[in-house]
Chains A and B, each alone.
Chain A
Amino acid sequence: VFNATILGQVFVNGVSLSAIYILVALGFTLLFGIMRVVNFAHGEFAMLGAFALFHLIKDWHWPWLIALPVGVIGVALASLVLEWLVFRWFYQRMFESMIGLLGLNMMMMFGAVLIWDVHERNIPSVSSDVLMMGDIIVPIDRLIVVVIALAALAGFYLFIRHTRAGLAMRAAAQDLETAETQGVNTRRTYKIAFFVAILLAALAGALWGQIYAVSPFLGERPLLMAFIVVILGGMGSIPGAALGGVLLGFTESFVGTFYGAAWSAFLSFGVVILLLIVRPWGILGTPES
């Protein structure tokens, strides 16, 4: 069964899964690294992103390439209300944030059930064409997802490395008090970080909904994956999130194809549990004092 065609297919799936996982996990790890908030409601923002894309395309008939950025940015902007109502109470309160945001997770999920009901919907695909690369079939749909996800990752990298706001974020993540004494406006930095994190989550959700289906429970899986990715890479570490996403995406694609989805879940959970025991701060993280 290990012939080139199937392995190629596995590779393509692995790349698209990895890209989406990294998008979700980056926001998660950003919120943790800077604000010490464990965002158990992260998946629900992905769900909102998917529904925004769905409605803009289905009800308003916007072209996909406009609907995606508008929907995703719209969700991120609207979420700033939640930042003000909910998240700001939990900044630098790790334990309380974990339990409290589980509550927000429940509110958003079941609120979505009230609004949208439980049934699944499909976002119309961008293109039903396929690209043949030798024997490997690459659906254009997936290719677009990968390209957009990679572009977003590149954009995020540039933002965090080469802008003043990104510098402020890295400073706040490293040492909050020193950053504040150097004149970093932490309140503003938190808001920007929150916006960016939700933007990435909503984008990941929209792309996820594009590949699979949209429902109020869409957020559960990305959240679980974000956990695993972030623990693998190290909580708060941005390169760690990228590494973890690639590891998980490819494992899932490979094991899932050859041995079934249940085994891939068992394997990734098992590895994470082992890692938590021997090296809780993750592969690329740093232990806390």
Chain B
Amino acid sequence: MTMRKRVYCVLAAIVLLGWPWLTDDRFFHHVGVLICLTSIAAASLHLIIRSGHVSLCHTAFMAFGAYGSTLTVMKLGMPWPVGLLVGTALAAAVAAMIGPIVLRLTGKYFVLITFLMGEVVRMAIVESSDLTGGSNGIFDVPPPYPFLLSNRAYYYFALAFAVFGVGFCARLLTSEFGRAMDAIREGERLAECSGIPVIRFKVTVFVIACALAGMTGSLQAHYIKFVGPDAYSGFQSLNLVIMNVIGGMTSLAGALLGTVFMVTLPELLRGYVNLQQIMFGAILFATMAFLPGGLIELARRVRGFFQRDKAVAQSVAPTSAPARPQTRAPA
């Protein structure tokens, strides 16, 4: 780690740990909790996207986590950690079951099938009202521990999980495993010829990502103290995709940037729900049409624009950083 990176890390830690004390407004703490939780979900979806698939049913796995955990705690009277484990394991188990089948589909077929699966899960929740409370949902979900009733306390709790979840994703992506994922996305045949067991890798990524989503679902349900099918609809999955898309689909930092943007904006524009949705739609369209690389790509282009003059001045001096691999959207 270079000195500069260390300074950045310390600064980030100070900001993340310190800012809840700048204000006593519970609302800001609430936004902080939402950002932490959503960042895990977005980062886990980023893993799937990095392996070349865009899933439109990611919140369905959050639903498995949320309902699994809530029911374990409320119906079986178990402590919350057991609920968290059950929820996470349930999401991972479902992912492990369907993963080997659906991950053989590519591109549009995967998008369509996950879109339909998300609907099926939502409908199943609404229909099995004995267990899940149907479309009314389940109220009065207890917090994980009594002292976590305050938003500020829950923020630190969520932050710890976010650091674990996002850190895990980041570590995975920079490992050899992550490189294999990039190789699979860029050229599946070539990756297979180079000795990467493609399907096994994809399934592993899918299971890990869905387990993280299940964990997020449990944390979220016990925070807002309510689970209902609407929080896990296709629209919510789409929001997670938007977070990844506007930030830039090939970088985890982009996904986090997108999360902060997509969570804060609706909370600040509470009174204008419809305008918000229209704006998100416009952003999504404009990004896909003109800037498929997202905000990260924009930053890179701007930097490239300013550095071009310098590069010309230095004539053919080689750049210090190795060229980033050319990235393309999964087809």
**Which A residues fall within an 8 A CB radius of B?**
38, 86, 89-90, 94-111, 113-114, 224, 227-228, 231, 235, 262, 265-266, 269-270, 272-273, 276-277, 280
Contact = CB atoms under 8 A, between A and B. Distances in A.
A97 B288 CA distance: 7
B331 A94 contact: yes
B329 interface: yes
B284 interface: yes
Interface residues of B, number: 42
Contacts, number: 109
| 9 nearest CB pairs, A to B | A103-B284, A100-B288, A106-B281, A107-B281, A103-B285, A89-B289, A110-B277, A103-B281, A110-B274
B54 interface: yes
Nearest to A90: B289
Interface in B282-331: 282-290, 292, 329-331
A110 to B, nearest CB: 4
A231 B112 contact: yes
B278 A38 contact: no
Contacts of B105: 276-277, 280
B108 A110 contact: no
Q: By DSSP majority rule, is chain B's interface helix, strand, loop, or mixed? A: helix
24 contacts: A86-B289, A94-B107, A95-B330, A96-B289, A97-B288, A99-B284, A102-B281, A102-B284, A107-B285, A109-B277, A110-B278, A111-B274, A114-B275, A114-B278, A224-B119, A227-B112, A231-B112, A235-B108, A266-B124, A273-B113, A276-B109, A276-B112, A277-B101, A280-B109
Given A231-B112, A273-B117, A276-B112, A106 B274 contact: no
A99 B54 contact: yes
Contacts of B101: 277
Contacts of A105: 281
B238 interface: yes
Interface in B6-38: none
B127 interface: yes
Interface string B98-142: 000110110111011101110110011001000000000000000
Contacts of A107: 277-278, 281-282, 285
A113 B274 contact: yes
A95 B329 CA distance: 8
B108 A104 contact: no
B161 interface: no
Given A105-B281, A235-B108, 6 more contacts: A95-B107, A100-B288, A101-B285, A114-B275, A269-B120, A270-B120
Nearest to B289: A89
